Chain A
């Protein structure tokens, strides 16, 4: 091989490495922008669902105080009330959970409520049947408003201040 080919191959190989990297970076651009659409909408952090526009309009400012209690509206344990502190709450059939659900449609460790600032966030823990807010299955943690019902298995619950 001539000197020229060797040099060309040498630099060509380095260039190819970088072409590979640039190709990956360019094509993953959209994938890395996790949630641009939502962020642009501004403040639509899950509570302002289409079915509850009045609620969202009535309470544009989140209440200062963390909601204090969790009420089970429907389901096998309906009527029960749980006092919430500032600790995360685990909901599920497993005995270790803070809010045990005697519900065949709930998973052992179904969902989790955790406080953040002055709001409670609801997060599904990879349950079999999902956690629903406004008939929408959760794919990520969302903020819950007071009086907004959510469904875990067959149980429907809501937060009260």
Chain B
């Protein structure tokens, strides 16, 4: 039996193998890292800094200072950090950071060379990227605050250090998520080399295959394939049964059963909708709040509502197949909106009422809308979400222009992003209620009408997709 090679021998063997793969030019990792850093820095500097600064100077500085120092802000910041950490770990379980191409995995990672040696370069890239992105975010946030007269140089330094720590921590959690797939050994690996050595060939290979599938699916506009690749297998509440009843109640119960069997997704959806309801209520009631709050809220709400609307997407997946259910295609799509919309309202209305009450106590006598407008705004938000969810589910296949090299990426991005863009625009409109004064009832009514029109458009898209298969 061959003896395990020493570290030096491993390095030598790896160098030889890499020379065969890449020749004298090397792997190009450093060049790719530098180029990526250059792009991120340019975009961050040109767009990020100016956008953040504009956001800060367009808000009431006194309100911003008070808001930043409040317990709620600290709580929101803590929740955001924990949420990012959980997200990084979760993403690591689906697609880890250390995923070389398939031939590299089969020929090098599967060889007797120390796994840390083989993946070390990629692990360093991960660490440096985390550090770099964290520092950049710190510089942007701190710099924008200083530029808007809201912070000092010390605040910039603090933001940079905080950003760097957060970036490295998120990179580590991403790797920890990938590492968590491996069965636990006798000791708990926490160092980078130990975690990398623990990675199993099968897991890395599965992630590489998934990356290839998802990449292909996204480029081809086949979001169903991408979604199924990412979605975890459901095995919960197996013995719980779908109770038969009327058409409407059974379809609603189906969606509720889905929430019980995929509780993580349902909780994420409820949290997303809940958080965005609070933001919308704040944007509507507080004239000093930044106007962009409404747009941010709708981005979160779009993702949250989407997590609750699995049934709608499945109807779209079945477009063109012979019908199995005794309801029409469009009716089925609409029925699958009942459960997510009801759940979203059940979560959004109390939160909006709470924010409204807190605002009324805090800002008694100050100018601003009546707290009831927050309830109206989140109701419109849910209607809008129902509409854009239909738009997203029934968007069909990408336009032919998406495959023309010169304009393809832009067309594809537009095709993917249209529902989200509509949601964000709706969020901005809702946020503008705060400035509407006497026109608020008219504006709110108009926004509700717009949301209903978007639902009607979504149903029309469903019809078009259904008929498109008859061609």
Our verdict on whether A and B bind, yes or no, reads: no
